[in-house]
């Protein structure tokens, strides 16, 4: 539903608080009442408020080389902004520091054949830098390792190239190692090459169907002082064939920072509510290096910040404690949320009722994706209780006459560490690099065959891009609808007297499970 900002009314706040007290006194299932009364919070959470936060994130990126990458000033300033807004709203936010493996490419990489055929290769097409590559400017002969398989085998992992130190028997120190993908990790291949004295490392794709292009892979840790690039199978095959006939000289340049740095999660919670039934509401605060990340994930971060502010402004007293979290270093591998969960005791894990995750909720070519908690439409279901989390979102959208699509728990966002320890989870997503179908265009509008977010992980993921991309304003429609749904679900779980099934924290006088949630309106297609 479309909304404009409204002035906050003290009478409305008092009415909401009085209704909450009446529900408790009458022992009416709170979730049923919240299905009606979340409008007060939804009306307070406006697109204008969310865009204010996104504009601040854009300004921070502008002042920090157009990025809010974890471990950089852009991320630190983003965290400071969130803390300042939370403190102004009356919260007592804390920073949870953790160390992580930081990597940043400072300038474009170079790869060119000097001889026998002078050739300049194209970054992004012929090759890509590997995460945690060292820096260097090297000109040397290419030397293939043992166990290169050309033509490649029929199945993946036919090649064992570079997986054992013995693969470098006879390797000339100072040469550039040419290694084929397959069998073991990129780290193992590259570290064996570095230990053998290689001045640079080229890992080329294996060659089977689906394993031919340049890959933006990771070495896993900042243990490398030598340049490491990943090339297409075609380029690797060409260099290998040329090397069988004579010397092949290659020039490669990488310019990186690869080291251990410290960053922070930002965490704030309501002062009231049951501490043995905590609702953790999360969104990652960092961007990729390539851009400001105003949709990924300035949209989720700004949305939960606006909800947290309005929660406080309305004076909502939750039955269950709500813990808002802005995760760091998600783009490096869910590291902030993973660290948070790793620090929880068994008791603290049990005390978390569920995790709600909001990662990209304003994609310019959007779909209303809801995480498929019961696994009915995707390969993986969430822990027990995730189906009920999904149902809260589905029933809300049905009440609004809005259709949804399922999205899988594929491990690509910060719910991952929570479901790994059995905590029910759910959330919303408006799409990333996936392509919009004709069927989806018929439901949501937009452009068939284009990415849900054409600027996903790109420099154009900006404030202007999220608000004005083609078709104009569609991302703001997404932000409006998804922020309403987020506010509704957060309030529903904050106020319920029932535990999410599987967490064993239900009140004997409350609902047996959340299947009893009731919402007015007809059910739309799920």
Residues acting as catalytic residues: 330
| Assigned token pair, 421 | 């320890």
Count of alpha carbons within 13 angstroms of residue 173, beta-carbon side: 3
How do 127-129 and 136-144 pair as beta strands?
Answer: unpaired
Distant-in-sequence contacts of 500-504, Cβ < 8 A, 24+ apart: 500/353, 500/354, 500/385, 500/388, 500/389, 500/424, 501/384, 501/385, 501/388, 501/424, 502/383, 502/384, 502/385, 502/422, 502/424, 503/277, 503/350, 503/352, 503/353, 503/354, 503/385, 503/424, 504/350
Query: In Å, how far from its chain's centre is CA 283?
Result: 8
Tell me if residue 497 falls in helix, strand or coil: coil
- The distance from CA 29 to its chain's CA centroid, rounded to whole angstroms, is 34
Record the tokens describing residue 146, joined without a space. Answer: 């043992």
Does 297 sit behind a cis peptide bond, omega within 30 degrees of 0 on the bond before it? yes
Measured CA to CA in angstroms, residue 189 lies from 165, 195, 224, 241, 403 at distances of 9, 10, 12, 21, 48
């Amino acid at each position: 539903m479309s909304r404009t900002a409204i002035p906050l009314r003290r009478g409305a706040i008092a009415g909401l608080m009085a209704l909450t007290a009446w529900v408790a006194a009458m022992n009416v299932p709170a979730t049923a009442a919240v299905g009606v009364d979340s409008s007060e919070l939804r009306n307070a959470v406006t697109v204008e408020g969310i865009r204010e936060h996104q504009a601040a994130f854009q300004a921070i990126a502008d002042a920090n080389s157009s990025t809010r990458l974890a471990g950089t000033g852009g991320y630190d300033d983003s965290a400071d902004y969130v803390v300042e807004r939370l403190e102004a709203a009356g919260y007592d936010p804390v920073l949870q520091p953790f160390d992580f493996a930081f990597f940043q490419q400072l300038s474009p990489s170079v790869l060119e054949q000097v001889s026998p055929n002078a050739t300049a290769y194209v970054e992004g097409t012929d090759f890509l830098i590997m995460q945690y590559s060292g820096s260097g400017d090297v000109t040397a002969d290419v030397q293939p390792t043992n166990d290169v398989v050309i033509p490649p085998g029929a199945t993946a992992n036919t090649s064992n190239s570079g997986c054992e130190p013995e693969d470098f028997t006879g390797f000339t120190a100072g040469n550039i190692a040419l290694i084929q993908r397959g069998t073991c990790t990129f780290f193992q291949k590259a570290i064996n090459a570095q230990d053998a004295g290689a001045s640079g490392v080229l890992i080329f794709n294996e060659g089977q169907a689906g394993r031919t292009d340049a890959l933006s892979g990771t070495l896993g840790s900042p243990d490398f002082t030598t340049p490491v690039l990943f090339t297409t199978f075609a380029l690797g095959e060409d260099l290998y064939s040329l090397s069988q006939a004579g010397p092949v000289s290659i020039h490669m340049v990488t310019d990186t920072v690869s080291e251990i740095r410290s960053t922070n999660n930002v965490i704030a919670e309501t002062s009231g509510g049951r501490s043995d039934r905590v609702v953790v509401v999360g969104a990652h605060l960092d961007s990729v290096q390539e851009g400001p990340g105003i949709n990924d994930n300035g949209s989720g971060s700004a949305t939960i910040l606006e909800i947290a502010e309005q929660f406080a402004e309305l004076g909502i007293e939750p039955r269950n404690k709500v813990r808002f979290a802005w995760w760091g270093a998600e783009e490096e591998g869910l590291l902030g949320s993973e660290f948070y969960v790793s620090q929880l005791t068994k008791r603290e894990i049990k005390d978390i009722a569920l995790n709600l995750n909001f990662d990209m909720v304003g994609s310019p070519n959007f779909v209303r994706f809801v995480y498929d908690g019961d696994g009915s439409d995707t390969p993986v279901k969430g822990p027990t209780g995730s189906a009920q989390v999904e149902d809260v979102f589905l029933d809300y959208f049905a009440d609004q006459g809005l259709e949804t699509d399922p999205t899988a728990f594929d491990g690509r966002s910060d719910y991952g560490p929570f479901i790994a320890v059995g905590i029910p989870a759910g959330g919303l997503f408006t799409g990333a690099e996936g392509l919009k179908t004709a069927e989806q265009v018929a439901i949501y509008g937009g452009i068939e065959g284009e990415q849900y977010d054409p600027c996903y992980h790109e420099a154009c993921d900006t404030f202007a891009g999220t608000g004005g991309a083609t078709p104009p304003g569609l991302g703001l429609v997404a932000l409006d609808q998804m922020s309403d749904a987020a506010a509704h679900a957060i309030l529903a779980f904050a106020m319920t007297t029932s535990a999410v099934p599987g967490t064993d924290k239900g009140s004997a006088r409350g609902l047996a499970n959340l299947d009893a949630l009731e919402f007015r309106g007809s059910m739309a297609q799920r």
